[in-house]
Structure 1
Amino acid sequence: MNLHIIDTGFFKLDGGAMFGVVPKQLWNKQNPADENNLCTWAMRCLLVEDGNQLILIDTGLGDKQDEKFFGHYYRHGDASLLGSIKKAGFAPEDVTDVLLTHLHFDHVGGAVKYDGTRSRLEPTFPNATYWSNEAHWEWATEPNPREKASFLKENILPILDSGQLGFVDNQVSPFENISFMQVDGHTEQMMLPVIRYNGKTIIYLADLIPSSAHVPLPWVMGYDVRPLLTMQEKESVLRRAVDEECILFFEHDAAYEAARVEQTEKGVRISERGTLSQFL
């Protein structure tokens, strides 16, 4: 198995929304805000090369939306989804599977693109099965008012129309070395891939713990639909990470790809953070 970091660029989100009830004087020390109270976040994906399978976990924001849309999120940086995949030595046609942790636009936007004439939307990865789960798919395609702006039909429905959509059974993974944890605090049935790599366990945290700054239990995003449940789920995942010495992989941390954690008097805290490769 080989793992490839797929950087898809950066974007900005309101610091208060990203840290919920945590006072700015605390979170601003770790994630300094600009003059508009916006903090920079990564959109970091992971490409898993495992035998005959080439598995992409999440797809970033994509590039098919209009400038008005991107103007809200200040997309920046030189990296792109397809550029990073090419840098890793692959083409879109090589990807066999796309695991979508959930269907918010900054995780699924790159899954769909315009065709050459910009008249039709189609899957970016023509030979891949796109994996979601039935409960989350229904949640996203019949969205509640709180999350409606995050579930964009143009990112989602072309996957169904293509016939490339598959659903993960909560009990059985379609992959030998990747299992899943389902969590419901951020959104209904978000899937966290758990990757077994050379005797180590990597937990892809998606939006349960979007950055290393979010490890303390009360540091929960304002975007979460069930914040108290998020705290319970974080506690469970972090306990597993301590007990099993797991590697935590951060999708949105602008500075750090991964970390290990330890139990302290104040609760579970980061013991070391850096690039994923330094922990493998």
Structure 2
Amino acid sequence: MKLISINSGYFKLDGGAMFGVVPKRMWQKLNAPDENNLCTWAMRCLLIDTGDRKILVDTGIGTKQDPKFRSHFIPWGQDVFLQDLAAKGYRAEEITDVLLTHLHFDHVGGAIQFNAQGKPEPTFPNARYWSNPLHFAWAEHPNPREAASFLKENFLPLRDWGMLEMIDPSDKDVAWLPNIRLRFVNGHTEAMMLPIIDTPEGTLVYCADLIPSAWHVRMPYIMAYDVRPLETLKEKNRLLEEAVEGNYTLLFEHDPECESGRVERDEKGGIGLK
């Protein structure tokens, strides 16, 4: 099994929203904001090559957005997504599965692209795309707080084209594919899926938006975007405790500097990066 990070570009989000209740005087030392209080964030996908299957986890923001949308998030570099995939030795046609951790625009936007005629088509034409019924229904009929994050043109066509598969949620980790299990978490959004991958070198967790960056390992650092922040707190604590015990590697989807890391308990009992 090979695990390969894929760069799908960068974008900007409000620093206060990303760091939640943490004061700006603290977080601005970590990720310096621009004059509009916006910080730069990565969109880091993961390619899992099992030999028989080429599995892509998340797809970044994509290239379909109009200028008004782009003016809010200032994405750049998303045109390197397929280029980086190719540079790592893979073509879009080789991808067999696309696991969508959740359907916010910065995680699913690259699942569909426009062709030369300006028509939408799947970016990975031979892949099965994977979601779950609880989250898909949540995204299709969003609450007002999250509505702007769910752009239906990013995911409804996948269902209409018959390319979408559903995974049944559970309060226990679900065995999905050999050596890959999924954990359903509900703090950030309903039934987000975290792939937990067991390899001969150890276990890797793709943290998605539960722990979006290395800075968010710290317990109070929870995004204001989360619909259930106290649930996030519990889910994050559970994962970090397991990561210490099992020496897991955590992959950070949005960290612009740190791709991955392992955590340890300090002398005061807290958990931080090694």
1:156-175 alpha-carbon deviations (Å, 9 max, x no partner): 11110110100123464341
User: 1:196 corresponds to which letter in structure 2?
Assistant: D
Q: For 1:80, what is the secondary structure of its paired residue?
A: helix
Alignment of 1:198-277 (within 5 A): 198-264=200-266, 265=268, 267-271=270-274
The reply to whether residue 42 of structure 1 matches residue 32 of structure 2 is no
Determine the structure 1 residue equivalent to 2:84.
Answer: 84
In 1, the alpha carbon distance for the partners of 2:103 and 2:60 equals: 11
Instruction: Specify every segment of 5 or more residues in structure 2 that has no aligned partner in the other structure, as ranges.
Output: none
Alignment of 1:1-280 (within 5 A): 1-77=1-77, 80-118=80-118, 120-170=119-169, 172-264=174-266, 265=268, 267-271=270-274
Range moving further from structure 2, 131-140 or 167-176: 167-176
Q: How many residues align?
A: 270
1:139-158 alpha-carbon deviations (Å, 9 max, x no partner): 01111101000000100111
Range moving further from structure 2, 187-196 or 168-177: 168-177
In 1, the alpha carbon distance for the partners of 2:37 and 2:206 equals: 27
Instruction: Report the TM-score when normalising by structure 2.
Output: 0.96
1:15-74 alpha-carbon deviations (Å, 9 max, x no partner): 000011100111111111111111100000011110210000000000011121111111
Instruction: Specify every segment of 5 or more residues in structure 1 that has no aligned partner in the other structure, as ranges.
Output: 272-280
Range moving further from structure 2, 108-117 or 72-81: 72-81
Q: RMSD between aligned alpha carbons?
A: 1.2
Ranges of 4+ aligned residues in structure 1 off by more than 4 Å? none
Q: For 1:25, what is the secondary structure of its paired residue?
A: helix
User: Do the aligned partners of 2:63 and 2:78 also contact (CA within 8 Å) in 1?
Assistant: no
User: 2:93 corresponds to which letter in structure 1?
Assistant: E
Change (3 A) 1:58 1:78: closer
In 2, the alpha carbon distance for the partners of 1:198 and 1:97 equals: 22
User: Do the aligned partners of 2:60 and 2:78 also contact (CA within 8 Å) in 1?
Assistant: no
User: 1:52 corresponds to which letter in structure 2?
Assistant: D
User: 1:34 corresponds to which letter in structure 2?
Assistant: D
In 1, the alpha carbon distance for the partners of 2:175 and 2:93 equals: 23
User: Do the aligned partners of 2:63 and 2:79 also contact (CA within 8 Å) in 1?
Assistant: no
In 2, the alpha carbon distance for the partners of 1:47 and 1:70 equals: 26
